[in-house]
A = this chain, B = another copy of it.
Amino acid sequence: MKLYEQVATTVKDRIDRGYYREGDKLPSVRGLSQEHNVSISTVQEAYGLLIDDGIVEARPKSGYYVLQQQAPPELPETSSPVSQPLVVAQWQKLQHMISEYGSGETTKLSLAMPDMNTPTLKPLIRISAELSRTESLRILNYEHANGAAELCRQVARITIDSGCRIHPDEIIITSGCQEALSCSLRAVTEPGDIVVVDSPSFFGSVQAIKINGVKALEIPTNPETGISLEALEMALEQWPIKACLLTPTNNNPLGYSMPDENKLRLLDLLNRYDIPLIEDDIYGDLSYTLPRPRTIKSFDTEGRVILCSSFSKSIAPGLRVGWVAPGRYREHIMMVKYLASLSTSTLSQLAVAEFIAQGYYEKHLRRMRKNYQRDRDAVIGWLKHDMPPGTRISYPQGGYLLWVELPAHMDANELNEQAKREGISIAPGTLFSASGKYKNFMRICCVNSDNPKIKQAIKTLAQICNRMLNENLLPD
């Protein structure tokens, strides 16, 4: 055992024995260094290890503390959307929201943006600059229609962590997960078809369904275990369903991961009814605990699961690099992707491949998992403290999104309007439903909770909510 590991073990031991409790301040670096007669940097390394292990947190300009493990918040109930296939219509609101990308000063709790200031992304920048020079002729050229061979290899390797065995030749690289989803949908449905979705559900897939002239059938979804398999089975009996589109792991917006048992039962149902599953795994690699949950794809023996993902949440969205493992629909999806955009930016593909190959992706994920779990706990803490009674909050197992149920009768669209005047935006719940449900819900992104602006934004949001409630209580 190395010196710093010894120091870390001692500290951890004391925490385990209750000598230091959650939230307690730990000995100073200088103090520990004298106690153990080791160098300052050894103690710092020891604390670094404990931080990585999620036991200790560093508070800037204050010192090290035992990390607070919060009790989970009160969860929203299982959703009960309208049980009928619907043509989706929410484009105007969505447009409003996306017009915010890249714009100015607003604190955009509305957008699902990963932490891009982290030092673990620095190597990506260096790699991108280097490739511009060393591979200049190649990056000017179209890549193979199915993707750069190096990248397909790395993607296939990554999917091993979710239990898959996918050959690199099977992978199709896309311009983000949105293109993966959109092409998969187009390949397995025709206008007029019905597709089953979880509810609430990522607005990008809900709207992609709409634009393909397909109808969405929303299935009640539990905030801890995912879609109700009973409701799904009933729907399969009742409707001529053509495909199923789900985000079963670190769901957007709810944050749950379906238990393996449910994943298996779901697959079983789909096998029985012979229906393809489009499995959106974009947040899968951001699970707080290792090993990460298995994909449904990893259980699939019939090639019916189309696994879609991208590096938009786990690295950075501006690269626009996603992928599909298309199972038995490979040829059709390949054709749709080719005719949608021929191929994907060559430099982006090579940069991601190199970032993974050199081991930076894993390092980056290790750090992000801890950070996002810390962010979840911090923001949930503030919400519990400040939001009006009756507020319920999801308790994600990965990723960085929170789904917040406001007291009944509150309108999240109105909340958003008022928040904007104070320089804050949220994603109103109605965006996440084909039937315009979830009026009193919002989704917020809790990345970078150590930035005081985020804490302030949450406080302000809570104030607005309280004000809105009080105004409603007043006689007209």
Residues of A within 8 A of B (CB): 91, 95, 98-99, 101-103, 111, 113, 116-117, 121, 124-125, 128-130, 132-133, 136-145, 174-176, 178-179, 182, 186, 190-191, 204, 207-208, 211, 213, 312, 316-320, 331, 334-336, 338-348
A-B contact pairs, 26 of them (CB 8 A): A98-B338, A99-B144, A103-B144, A111-B142, A117-B137, A121-B140, A125-B132, A129-B132, A138-B318, A140-B316, A140-B318, A141-B316, A143-B318, A175-B320, A176-B342, A178-B339, A178-B340, A182-B339, A191-B191, A207-B335, A317-B342, A318-B345, A318-B347, A319-B346, A340-B340, A347-B347
Q: How far is the CB of A445 from chain B (nearest CB, A)?
A: 13
Chain A contact surface mostly = helix
Contacts of A103 in B (CB 8 A): 144
Q: A116-B140, A318-B138, A339-B178 are in contact. Are A101 and B145 (CB under 8 A)?
A: yes
Contacts of A191 in B (CB 8 A): 190-191, 213
Across the interface, do B182 and A102 meet the contact criterion of CB distance under 8 Å? no
Contact of A116 among B99, B137, B175, B343 (CB under 8 A): B137
Which 9 residue pairs are nearest across A and B when measured between Cβ atoms? A140-B316, A318-B346, A129-B132, A345-B345, A128-B132, A179-B341, A116-B140, A125-B136, A175-B341
Q: How far is the CB of A195 from chain B (nearest CB, A)?
A: 14
Distance of A174 Cα from B340 Cα, bound (Å): 11
Contacts of A138 in B (CB 8 A): 102, 318
Across the interface, do B343 and A208 meet the contact criterion of CB distance under 8 Å? no
Across the interface, do B95 and A335 meet the contact criterion of CB distance under 8 Å? yes
Q: A98-B145, A340-B340 are in contact. Are A128 and B175 (CB under 8 A)?
A: no
Contacts of A346 in B (CB 8 A): 318-320
Q: How far is the CB of A454 from chain B (nearest CB, A)?
A: 17
Contacts of A139 in B (CB 8 A): 128, 318
Across the interface, do A345 and B320 meet the contact criterion of CB distance under 8 Å? yes
Q: How far is the CB of A149 from chain B (nearest CB, A)?
A: 9
* Most chain B beta carbons < 10 A, residue from A95, A132, A190, A336: A132
Given contacts A176-B341, A340-B341, A347-B347, 11 further A-B contacts (CB under 8 A): A95-B331, A102-B141, A116-B137, A141-B316, A141-B317, A178-B339, A204-B342, A207-B339, A317-B343, A341-B341, A345-B345
Across the interface, do A175 and B175 meet the contact criterion of CB distance under 8 Å? yes
* Most chain B beta carbons < 10 A, residue from A91, A99, A128, A342: A342
Distance of A125 Cα from B103 Cα, bound (Å): 28
Contacts of A144 in B (CB 8 A): 99, 101-103
Q: How far is the CB of A348 from chain B (nearest CB, A)?
A: 5
Contacts of A95 in B (CB 8 A): 331, 334-335
Distance of A99 Cα from B149 Cα, bound (Å): 13
Across the interface, do B347 and A208 meet the contact criterion of CB distance under 8 Å? no
Closest to A203 in B: B339
Contacts of A186 in B (CB 8 A): 211
Q: How far is the CB of A351 from chain B (nearest CB, A)?
A: 9
* Most chain B beta carbons < 10 A, residue from A139, A318, A340: A318
Q: How far is the CB of A475 from chain B (nearest CB, A)?
A: 42
Across the interface, do A140 and B317 meet the contact criterion of CB distance under 8 Å? yes
Q: How far is the CB of A130 from chain B (nearest CB, A)?
A: 8
Q: A141-B102, A144-B101 are in contact. Are A347 and B128 (CB under 8 A)?
A: yes
Closest to A178 in B: B342
Contacts of A143 in B (CB 8 A): 101-102, 318
Closest to A310 in B: B342
Across the interface, do B178 and A142 meet the contact criterion of CB distance under 8 Å? no
Q: How far is the CB of A15 from chain B (nearest CB, A)?
A: 36
Across the interface, do B133 and A129 meet the contact criterion of CB distance under 8 Å? yes
Across the interface, do B213 and A190 meet the contact criterion of CB distance under 8 Å? yes
Across the interface, do A341 and B190 meet the contact criterion of CB distance under 8 Å? no
